[in-house]
């Protein structure tokens, strides 16, 4: 039987219009553009403003744009994997809400939560349904309304995050393009270095949790930074080595956009020169599940069939991993 690879056949993204600049942040907390730029590489991020708007509202334009590009209707989608850490609600899954909003009446779906590595986990998971022959059209969405869990009085976190969403379509490929290899890891000993203290079954919402601001993302920056540099760089290096890829074989490194210094360390370990690294952190900040599909969207016009891409991410959990894929169009 012919081997089926799961290939990305379309990509699209969406970021909201409102731009929160470093200069505006200077008026909100005790920070400055020079500190933010030199420590993170971020200049601005997008924020979803307006009442009643949630993560699914970031996904709708991303997915509708994708369907139009691919020339298919929403009813052809068989499965939606929605990778997010900021679901519209705990119940039901945002995948269901999205399916309803776009008219994906024949799809089943679920949410996947692996913090900043979510899109990588989702891509690998979605690929299984294609490779097994179970499905022919799987939508993998990565998006977060990080502004909904960001404390804009905490200068150590509010400078980092932004809102945004990207989506890819996975379809069978018989030419050897698509997902080739993946290495995914998690380590719960890092759980308390980057987390939301309340709102789950451990510490349900109460007046006390709200007063203590426990519904915002809490991060021990240095601890996460050190673990991210080590793990993301190592796993990217590992996937390059085990697939016997030489630096000249790699067309693009697609790193999670959490900090420019983490990206640089990962590129160096994977042997990828700076001009081959997708970086848009200066415009969007860390959109958590959105960073990787938003990079693919921004760079889509430069990608060529057969290009070798190395994707790498690190996030809360801890979770991290890397994917090697061959671009299919």
Is 286 known to be catalytic?
Answer: yes
295 among known catalytic residues:
no
Cβ-in-10-Å burial (0-12, 13-18, 19+) of 50 comes to exposed
- Number of residues in contact with ligand UT7 under rule CB under 6 A: 20
In the set 135, 256, 259, 280, the catalytic residue is: 256
Which of residues 14 and 225 has its CB atom nearest to ligand UT7 in the complex? 225
Segment interacting with ligand UT7, rule: CB under 6 A, options 125-133, 139-147, 154-162, 238-246: 154-162
- The residue within the footprint of ligand UT7, chosen from 124, 173, 231, 286 (CB under 6 A), is 286
Tokens representing 123 are 């891509």
Q: Which range binds ligand UT7 by CB under 6 A, 123-131, 151-159, 165-173, 199-207? A: 151-159
The residue whose Cβ lies closest to ligand UT7 is: 221
Which of 177, 286, 289, 295 does the annotation list as catalytic? 286
Catalytic site residue 256?
yes
Q: Does 284 contact ligand UT7 by CB under 6 A?
A: no
Answer yes or no: are the C-beta atoms of 13 and 280 closer than 8 Å. Answer: no
Residues 233-272 that bind ligand UT7 (CB under 6 A): 258-259, 262
Beta-carbon contacts of residue 100 (< 8 Å; ≥ 6 apart): none
Q: Which of 116, 158, 165, 295 is catalytic?
A: 116
**How many angstroms separate the CA atoms of 268 and 194, rounded?**
25
- The nearest distance, CB 196 to ligand UT7, in angstroms, is 13
The CB-of-206 to ligand UT7 minimum distance in angstroms stands at 27
Q: Which of 71, 222, 275, 301 binds ligand UT7 (CB under 6 A)?
A: 222
Residues 30 to 49: which contact ligand UT7 by CB under 6 A?
A: 31, 35-36, 39-40
Q: Using CB under 6 A as the criterion, which residues of the chain lie in contact with ligand UT7 when the complex forms?
A: 31, 35-36, 39-40, 116, 155-156, 159, 221-222, 224-225, 228, 258-259, 262, 286, 314-315
Cite the active site residues.
Answer: 116, 256, 286
């Amino acid at each position: 039987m012919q081997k089926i690879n799961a290939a990305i056949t379309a990509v699209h993204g969406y970021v909201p219009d409102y731009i929160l600049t470093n200069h505006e942040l200077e008026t909100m907390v005790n920070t400055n553009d020079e500190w933010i730029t030199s420590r993170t590489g971020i200049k601005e991020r997008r924020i979803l403003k307006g009442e009643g708007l949630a993560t699914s509202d970031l996904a709708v334009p991303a997915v509708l744009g994708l369907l139009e590009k691919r020339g298919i209707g929403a009813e052809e989608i068989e499965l939606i994997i929605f990778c997010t850490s900021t679901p519209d609600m705990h119940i039901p899954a945002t995948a269901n809400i999205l399916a309803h909003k776009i008219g994906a009446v024949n799809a089943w779906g679920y949410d996947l939560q692996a913090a900043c590595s979510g899109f990588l986990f989702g891509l690998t998971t979605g690929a299984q349904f294609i490779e097994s022959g179970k499905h022919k059209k799987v939508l993998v969405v990565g998006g977060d309304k990080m502004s909904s869990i960001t404390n804009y009085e905490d200068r150590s976190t509010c400078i980092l995050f932004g809102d945004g969403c990207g989506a890819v379509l996975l379809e069978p490929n018989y030419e050897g393009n698509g997902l080739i290899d993946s290495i995914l890891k998690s380590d719960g000993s890092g759980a308390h270095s980057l987390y939301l203290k309340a709102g789950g079954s451990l510490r349900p919402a109460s007046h006390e949790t709200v007063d203590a601001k426990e519904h915002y993302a809490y991060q021990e920056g240095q601890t996460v930074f050190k673990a991210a540099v080590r793990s993301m760089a190592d796993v990217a290096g590992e996937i390059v080595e085990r697939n016997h890829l030489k630096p000249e074989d790699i067309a693009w490194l697609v790193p999670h956009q959490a900090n420019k210094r983490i990206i640089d360390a990962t590129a160096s370990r994977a042997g990828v020169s700076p001009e081959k690294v997708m970086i848009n952190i200066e415009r969007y900040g860390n959109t958590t599940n959105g960073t990787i599909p938003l990079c693919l969207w921004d760079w889509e016009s430069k990608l060529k069939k057969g290009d070798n891409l190395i994707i790498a991410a690190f996030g809360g959990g801890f979770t991290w991993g890397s994917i090697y894929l061959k671009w299919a169009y």
